[in-house]
Structure formats: C-alpha cells, structure tokens
Copies of this chain bind each other. A is one copy, B any other.
Amino acid sequence: MFELDIRSRQPIYEQLVEKMKELIIHEVWKPHEQLPSVRQLAKEVTINPNTIQKAYRELEHQGYIYSIPGKGSFVAPQSPSVSQEKATMIKQQTLKLLCEGLYLGIAKEELLSLVETAEQLVKGAKTND
C-alpha cells in the first residue's frame, strides 16, 4: 500500500504522514472513510505498530484524521476553525516559496498557472465521486 524507504534519513513515520496527507488532500480517501488499523497496517508494511501510531497521532494533531478508541481511525472532514490557523501557515510558507521562485527566475505567469494546476488536481478529485 505504501512504498517506504527504510534507509532514508527521513523517518518512516514522516513518510507515512506525507503520503497519507496526499491521499486525503486529493480525496483518494474521502471524509469519514476508515483507515487501516495500526496493527493491520504495521503487518502490511512490516514495521512496528508504534511507528504507525506515531504517524496517526501526527495526522490527528494536524487535523487530517480523527480516532475513536475501540472503533478505528477515520478521515476528518474540513473544520473551518482548525483550517484557519493552518491556512495562515500555508499562506506564509507559500509566499516564502513564491519569493524564492521569482528570485530564481521563474516567470510570474508560471507560478500563476501552478495555482490552476493545483485547483484541477484538488477539484478533479472531488468531481470523481
């Protein structure tokens, strides 16, 4: 299910967080969909359940999933309150990257078109219901 690089300097749990976030953002995993259990996923990728749980804990902390003891972990719907904080962070980081890109000589138009691409990627997923 996931391709993990054990010998990467990037921790396994971080790789998991990134890949799962993408699946959620692009709505491959829909809101309220149940994720594999920590033990089941640990078996599949043959790593320790604690590592999975660390990834889930991080995803829950970032607001991308929610967990119910005894039941399982599920994709979180978008809650505007949490999103606003994150949105501010995202905008700050994006602005920084955009400045760097412009400095490196990327055309303004190219950066504008990135927004269009992103929109299609995200919206495209949503229309595939």
Flag if B118 contacts A95 (CB, 8 Å): yes
| Inter-subunit contact B114/A119 (CB<8 Å) | no
Are B110's CB and A91's CB within 8 A? yes
Are B99 and A26 within 8 A (Cβ)? yes
CB of A121 within 8 A of CB of B99, answer yes
Closest to A27 in B: B103
Chain A interface secondary structure, helix, strand, loop or mixed?
helix
Complex Cα–Cα for A106 and B93 (A): 14
Contact-residue bracket for chain A: 35 or more
Asked if A90 contacts B94 (CB within 8 A), the reply is: no
Please list 21 pairs of residues, one from A and one from B, whose beta carbons are closer than 8 Å in the complex, sorted by A's number: A24-B103, A25-B103, A26-B99, A78-B104, A83-B104, A86-B104, A87-B101, A87-B104, A90-B100, A90-B106, A91-B101, A91-B106, A91-B110, A93-B97, A94-B94, A94-B97, A94-B101, A95-B118, A102-B119, A103-B122, A111-B115
A interface with B by C-beta (< 8 Å):
21, 24-26, 78, 80, 83, 86-87, 90-91, 93-95, 97-106, 108, 110-112, 114-115, 117-119, 121-123
